[in-house]
Structures are given as C-alpha cells and as structure tokens.
Structure 1
C-alpha cells in the first residue's frame, strides 16, 4: 500500500518522573525542566533526533495546574511566563507557532486530533506537544522550608488559549457543586444506584478495579506511586487511606502531587521519511472523537456520560472499528466512575479487561491536565511491541465534561482524513435538559456526597428530584450536623430519602426528613 505523504503520524514519545525528596534544593525538578527531559526523550525515541529537532515548527504545551486554578500549587516557586517559548528555548527550537493550551484533561488527545488535521492540511510540518507538573516538588519544598525559584521570563509572543469554556454555572457553584472531589461522587453514587449496589458493594467494586490499576503502576518505570495496593487496603479507611468525599478514600482519587513530564512528536509520512525516522517508530491515528457535555445539573441522567458515549462511538466509527477490534486501552481514571462508564459504553467487563497502560491517575500519577499524554506515550510504546494491534485512549476533562478519544495502530490507514466532531457535539446539544428549580420544594435524593476535613464531615451536597424538576442543595445552615448524620447513617442509604428544600437568595438549603 502506498501511503499519502500528508498522512499524519506519531514518531516520537517521551516520559519522565522525578522522586525528589527535598534534601537538595538544586535538584528540585521544575515544570520546564521536566518537559525538557521528556522532549529530549521523545526526540531520541524518533531515531532521528537532529533532523526532527530542526523540522519542528509548532510547539504546544498543555496548561499547567498553576495557571489553571488558584491554589492548585503552593505559592512561592514561580514559573515560566511563556511555557511553550521557554521550552523551545531550552531545546534550541525556533517555532513558527508557540501555543499554551486551555484547561482540561482532554487536552493532550484533543491536541493530537487538532494537529493531525493541521499536518494533513499542510499547515504544520512537525509538531512537538508537551506538558508537565512539579506539584510534588512545590509541596515538598513548602513543607521543608526550602526555597526554589522556577521563574523564567522569555521574549516573544505565544498563542495563549486561556482557560477554555466554563464547565459549571453560577447556580451550581452557589449550591455546593464545584470542586471535582465534591462533584464526581454525584456521578458515582448515581451509577451505584442504577446498578442496584449498596454502598459497601460499590466501594468493594471500586477498590478491586483500582487494585488492578496499582499492579500496573508498580511495573511502570514512569509511575509516581509504583506500589501494589490490595483491594482490602483500598476499601478500608485508615490513617494512610482516609475519607475525602463519600464514597471515596484517599487512594480512590487522582493524586496530583507528582513530578512528571511527557512529550509527543507528530509529523507527516513524507516528512518522517525525509528526516529518516525508522518505519518501526511510526504510530498512526486511525480515528478520533470529541464532545463536551452540559453543566452537571443540566444533564438528564447523572449515572451516565453522554459525552463519553458519543466520543467513544464517534472515534470507533471514524476508525471503522468496534470495541472487539481494540487490544489495548488507556481510559482516563481520575475517579472510578470515569472508567466504569467508559467500560459500560464499550461493552467491556472492567473486572476482566485491562483498562490502563500506566496504572492511572491514582497510582501512575495525576499529572494535572497532562495525564493522557503519558497514556498516549505508553500506548505508542505498547503498539510498537504489538505491531498491527489497535489501541484506544480516552482523555477526560472537567466533570465528565470534555472528552477526547484517539484510536491508534502501527498499521497504516488505507486513507486518512480529519474527523468532523461537530455531529458528535450536536448530538449532545440536541438533548433536552431537566428543569432546574430555585424555589422551596420537597423531593427525593437522586445523588449526594459528604466531604471530609481531618476525618470529620465538613461539606455536603445533594441532588434531588421533584415532580417539577431537579434541585441542587447544600445543608441548611441551621441543620448541618443533622444533614451530615443523615447522609452518613450506615443503616439507611441516602438515595431515595426525602429532603425539604428552602430557597433564599439563589441558595438552596436542604433538610433530610426523618
């Protein structure tokens, strides 16, 4: 088969991890330094480092957590004012375009989709994608009282894409939905209820799934937390695995205290040949899917993710594949529900299917918006070791809000064309949203969570249904302790219990009926 020279191809991948212990400030890894290390690894991986370096005309960096949300990273370390140009300077590259991405864990796969299309259209020659986090180093330095300075000022212009679209609205934020740790439990408990599981049964299922992920992380040389954890340990509250938000204990959720970087290099078949990149390094994008869901409270069913379903279906259809054709998966795993819903959409049994190549965000490490770049890098290496097989990467951003999917193989596509994601988005947008109430009401709990601080209930949110619509509420000010007690009662599942809602000044307060 003769390949069109403008067919996009992934030619280099690189990852790095650092377990700095804080003892030598000069050895503290920085976000820019981690990206540099990952990029040098990707250049070397291409087998034609010098030629590839000289050909790069686009550098795109996944937005760091420090620039994504206030308070995500301890202050005082500083950073680079123009990360893509700072990276290019370190690598000796002068790109025509330097891009700093929006927020979201979907970004690495979304950038691959975007720049594969740009390469195919002749709008880019060779594209370097990278991202990193050094949150662990910043936290270690803060605890040890060690001063580290990551400030860099770089001359030149970048394309700063900003934060991206709002994923929650003001109503949700005022009524307790906001932080991922308080929002994902709403999906988790809704799924648990639909599956007919008790709280204990679902915790056991989550913990069994995660135990398998931890085994993969333990064998991953780029994992931040390479330690096997048993299902029993993961299901049991302890000093090292304490409650964070019902139903989650510490190790059920993404761990962002990492020092990790990853990089990918994309080009065209014609350019790869001209640079002398060995054919056995080539990995092709066969199909892709992207979709963004509505704000959480406007989704018809919290126990499902239409964005995941649509993006997965769109990617498989565009590749001409079904789930039975896929040999390898890396499913975004910030919380168990993201994996469980993807497995359900694919018709897979999560107990008997390997759904991560890295060990996932709790164990390999939740490198901010950049986790899935590690997943794609691991996928490329896996496919090179299993030539001709197909792999699927699902990258998730926000609150099951933004999904990006890629189908990969070392087998070349018969022909390649950009995938139109607009019909996928139209399918999401066309669905009616539930009516959202801002009034006194009585309803039944659809989902809920209780957030913990130092082992004690500190926050709570419920989603309730009435004949007229849906209500999101936080505990009534005068009834917090009673609300916490009702939602944590081991003898009564909160789902289905009656709540009374009092509305005032845009805030819904709930009281659980006896």
Structure 2
C-alpha cells in the first residue's frame, strides 16, 4: 500500500520521572527540566534525533497546574513566563509557533488531533508536544524548608490560549459544586445508585479495579508511586488511606504530587522518510473523537457521561472500528467513575479488561493536565511491541466535561482525513437539560457527597430532584452537623432520602428529613 505523503504519524515518544527526596537542592527537578528530559528522550526515540530537532517548527506545551488555577502548587518556586519558548531554547529549537495550551486533562489527545490535521493540511512540518509537573518537588521543598527557584524569563511571543471555557457556572459554585473532589463523588454515587449497589459494594468494586491499576503501575518505570496495593487496603480507611470525600479514600483519587514529564513528536510520512525515521517507530492516528458536556447541574443523568459516550463512539466510527477491534486501552482514571463509565460505554467488563497501560492517575501519577501524554507515549510503545494491533486513549478534562479520544496503530490507514468533531458536539448541545430550581423546595436526594478535613466532615453537597426540576444545595448554616450525621449514617443510604431546601440570595441550603 502506498501511503499519502501528508499522512500524519507519531514518530517519537518520551517520558521521565524523578523521585527527588529533598536532600540536595541542586538536584530538585523543575517543570522545564522535566520537559527537556522527556523531549530529549522523544528525539532519541525517533531514531533520527538531529534531523528531527532541526525540522520542528511547532512547540506546544500543555498548561501547567501553576498557571491553571490558584493554589494548585505551593508558592515560592517561581516558574517560566513562556514555557513553550523556554523549552524550545533549552532544546536549541527556533519554532515558527510556540503554543501554551488551555486547561484540562483532555489537552494532550486534543493537541494530537489538532496537529495531525495541521500536518495533513501542510500547515505544520514537525510538531513537538510536551508537558510536565514538579508539584512533588515543590511540596518536598516546602516541607524541608529548601529554597528552589524555577524562574525563567524568555524573550519572544507565544500563543497563550488561556484557561479555556468555564466548566461550572456561578450557581453551581455558590451551592457547593466546584473542586473535583466534591464533584466527581456526585457522579460516583449516581452510578452506584443506578447499578443498585450499596455503599460497601461500590467501594469494594472501586478498590478491586484500582488494585489492578496499582499492579500495572508497580511495573511501570515511569510511575511516581510504583507499589502494588491490595483491594482490602484500598477499601479500608487508615492513617495512610484516609477519607477525602465520600465515597473516596485517599488512594481512590488522582495523586498530583508528582515529578513527571512526557513528550510526543508528530510529522508527516514524507517528512519522516526525509528525516530517516525508521518505519518501525511509526504509529498512526486512525480516528478521533471530541465532545464537551454541559455544566454539571444541567446534565440530564449524573450516572452517565454523554461526552464520554459521544467521543468514544465518534472515535471508533471515524476509525472504522468497534470496541472488539481494540486490544489496548488507556482510560483516564482521575476517579473510578471515569473508568467505569468509559467501560460501560464500550461494553467492557472493567473487572476483566486491562484499562490502563501506565497504572493510572492514582498510581502512575496524575501529572496535572498532562497525564494522557504519558498514556499516549505508553500506547505507542505498546503498539510497537504488538504490531498491527489497535489501541484507544481516552483523555478527560474538568468534571467529565471535556473528552478527547484517539485510536492508534502501527498499521497504516488506507487513507487519512481530519475528523469533524462538530457533529459530536451538536449531539450533546441538542439534548434537553433539566430545569434548575432556585426556590424553596422539598425533594429526593439524587446524589451527594461529604468532604473531609483532618478526618472530620467539613463540607457537603446534595443534588435533589423535585417534580419541578433539580436542586443543588449545601448544608443549611444552622444544620451542618445534622446534615453531616444524616449523610454519613451507616444504616441509611442518603440516596432517596427527603431533603428540604431553603433558598436565599442565590444559595440553596438543605436539611435532611428524619
């Protein structure tokens, strides 16, 4: 088969991890240094490092957590003011475009989708994608009283894409929905209720799934936490696995205290041949899907993710594949519900299907917005070792808000064309949203969570249904302790219980009926 010369191809991947213990300040990893190491690994991986380095005309960096939201990284470390140009300078590259992405875990796959199309259209010659986090180093330095300085000021212009669209609205933020740790439990409990599971049964299912992820992380040389954890340990509260937000204990959620970097290099078939990249390094993008969901309170069913369903279906359809054709998966795993909903959408049994190549965000490490670049790198390496098989990467951003999917193989596509994601988005946009109430009401709990601080309940959110619509509420100021007690009562499942809502100044306060 003769390949079209402008067919996009992935030719180099690189990852790095650092387990700095704080003892030598000079050895502290930085976000820029981790990206540099990962990019040098990707260049070497291409088999034609010098030629590839000289050909790169686009450098795109996934937005660091420090530039994504306040308080994500301990203060005092500083940073690079133009990360893509800082990276280019370190690598000896002068790109025509230097891009700093929006926020979101979907970004690595979304950038692959974007620049595969740009390469196909002749708008880019060779594209370097990279990202990193050194949050573990920042936290280690703060605990040890060690000063580290990551400041870099770089001359030149970059394309800073900003934070991206708002994923929650003011109503949700005022009523307790905001941090992922208080929002994903709403999906998790809604799914649990739909599946007919008790709280203990669902915790056991989550922990069994995660035990398998930890086994894969233990064998991953790039994992931040390469340690096998048993389902029993993961399901049991302890000093090292404490409650963070019902139903989650510490190790049920993404761990962002990592020092990790990853990089990918994309080009065209013609350029790969001209640079002398060996054919056995080539990995092709066969299909893609992207979709963005509505704000959380405006989604019809919290026990499902329409964005995941639509993006997965679109990617498989564009590749001409079904789930039965896919041999390898890396599903975004910030919280168990993300994996469980993706498996359900694909018709897979999560208890009997390997759904990660890395070990996932709790164990391989949740490298900020960049985790899925590690997943794509691991996928490329897996596919090279298993020629002609197909793999699927699902990258998730926000609150099951933004999804990007890629279908990969070393097998070349018969033809290649960019995928139009607009019809996928239109499918979600056309679906009706529930009526959201801002008034006194009495309803039935649809989902809920209790957030913990130092082992004690500190915050709570309920989502309730009434005949007129949906209400999101936080505990009434005068009834917080009673609300915490009702939602944590081991003898009564909160889902299905009656709540009374009092509305004032845009805030809904709830009390749980006896």
Q: Which TM-score band applies after superposition, normalised by the shorter structure?
A: over 0.9
Tell me the SS of whatever aligns to 2:503: strand
Provide, for residues 291-349 of structure 1, a one-character-per-residue CA deviation record: whole Å limited to 9, x for no partner. Answer: 00000000000000000000000000000000000000000000000000000000000
Q: Please state how far the C-alpha of 1:428 moved relative to its aligned partner.
A: 0.3
Provide, for residues 362-383 of structure 1, a one-character-per-residue CA deviation record: whole Å limited to 9, x for no partner. Answer: 0000000000000000000000
Provide, for residues 15-36 of structure 1, a one-character-per-residue CA deviation record: whole Å limited to 9, x for no partner. Answer: 0000000000000000000000
Q: Please state how far the C-alpha of 1:265 moved relative to its aligned partner.
A: 0.0
Tell me the SS of whatever aligns to 1:365: coil
TM-score, normalised on structure 2? 1.00
Cα root mean square deviation, aligned? 0.1
Provide, for residues 59-101 of structure 1, a one-character-per-residue CA deviation record: whole Å limited to 9, x for no partner. Answer: 0000000000000000000000000000000000000000000
Rounded Cα–Cα distance in structure 2 between residues aligned with 1:465 and 1:310: 26
Q: Please state how far the C-alpha of 1:289 moved relative to its aligned partner.
A: 0.0
Structure 1 residue ranges, 4+ long, deviating more than 2 angstroms after superposition: none
Rounded Cα–Cα distance in structure 2 between residues aligned with 1:507 and 1:143: 38
Rounded Cα–Cα distance in structure 1 between residues aligned with 2:425 and 2:125: 29
Rounded Cα–Cα distance in structure 1 between residues aligned with 2:414 and 2:78: 48
Rounded Cα–Cα distance in structure 1 between residues aligned with 2:46 and 2:72: 34
Q: Please state how far the C-alpha of 1:471 moved relative to its aligned partner.
A: 0.1
User: Does 2:288 match 1:291?
Assistant: no
Rounded Cα–Cα distance in structure 2 between residues aligned with 1:361 and 1:489: 30
Provide, for residues 188-246 of structure 1, a one-character-per-residue CA deviation record: whole Å limited to 9, x for no partner. Answer: 00000000000000000000000000000000000000000000000000000000000
Q: Which residue is 1:48 aligned to?
A: 48
Rounded Cα–Cα distance in structure 1 between residues aligned with 2:498 and 2:150: 52
Q: Please state how far the C-alpha of 1:473 moved relative to its aligned partner.
A: 0.1
Q: How many residues align?
A: 514
Q: Please state how far the C-alpha of 1:416 moved relative to its aligned partner.
A: 0.1
Q: Please state how far the C-alpha of 1:256 moved relative to its aligned partner.
A: 0.1
Rounded Cα–Cα distance in structure 1 between residues aligned with 2:461 and 2:329: 33
Where in structure 2 are there 5+ consecutive unaligned residues?
Answer: none
Q: Please state how far the C-alpha of 1:486 moved relative to its aligned partner.
A: 0.1
Provide, for residues 371-406 of structure 1, a one-character-per-residue CA deviation record: whole Å limited to 9, x for no partner. Answer: 000000000000000000000000000000000000
Q: Please state how far the C-alpha of 1:262 moved relative to its aligned partner.
A: 0.0
Q: Which residue is 1:253 aligned to?
A: 253
Rounded Cα–Cα distance in structure 2 between residues aligned with 1:23 and 1:51: 39
Q: Which residue is 2:77 aligned to?
A: 77
Rounded Cα–Cα distance in structure 2 between residues aligned with 1:413 and 1:248: 42
Tell me the SS of whatever aligns to 1:437: coil
Tell me the SS of whatever aligns to 1:264: strand
Rounded Cα–Cα distance in structure 1 between residues aligned with 2:472 and 2:100: 35
Tell me the SS of whatever aligns to 2:364: helix
Where in structure 1 are there 5+ consecutive unaligned residues?
Answer: none
Rounded Cα–Cα distance in structure 2 between residues aligned with 1:234 and 1:426: 40
Tell me the SS of whatever aligns to 1:366: coil
Q: Please state how far the C-alpha of 1:433 moved relative to its aligned partner.
A: 0.2
Q: Which residue is 1:140 aligned to?
A: 140
User: Does 2:270 match 1:270?
Assistant: yes
Rounded Cα–Cα distance in structure 1 between residues aligned with 2:2 and 2:241: 55
Rounded Cα–Cα distance in structure 2 between residues aligned with 1:266 and 1:386: 20
Rounded Cα–Cα distance in structure 2 between residues aligned with 1:403 and 1:478: 40
Q: Please state how far the C-alpha of 1:143 moved relative to its aligned partner.
A: 0.3
Rounded Cα–Cα distance in structure 2 between residues aligned with 1:461 and 1:245: 10
Provide, for residues 458-506 of structure 1, a one-character-per-residue CA deviation record: whole Å limited to 9, x for no partner. Answer: 0000000000000000000000000000000000000000000000000
Tell me the SS of whatever aligns to 1:509: strand
Rounded Cα–Cα distance in structure 2 between residues aligned with 1:149 and 1:240: 31
Tell me the SS of whatever aligns to 2:286: strand
Rounded Cα–Cα distance in structure 1 between residues aligned with 2:184 and 2:456: 19
Q: Which residue is 1:467 aligned to?
A: 467
Rounded Cα–Cα distance in structure 2 between residues aligned with 1:246 and 1:153: 43
Q: Please state how far the C-alpha of 1:12 moved relative to its aligned partner.
A: 0.0
Rounded Cα–Cα distance in structure 2 between residues aligned with 1:353 and 1:270: 37
Rounded Cα–Cα distance in structure 2 between residues aligned with 1:477 and 1:75: 32
Rounded Cα–Cα distance in structure 2 between residues aligned with 1:278 and 1:197: 51
Rounded Cα–Cα distance in structure 1 between residues aligned with 2:93 and 2:143: 36
Rounded Cα–Cα distance in structure 2 between residues aligned with 1:468 and 1:345: 30
Provide, for residues 93-150 of structure 1, a one-character-per-residue CA deviation record: whole Å limited to 9, x for no partner. Answer: 0000000000000000000000000000000000000000000000000000000000
Rounded Cα–Cα distance in structure 1 between residues aligned with 2:427 and 2:235: 38
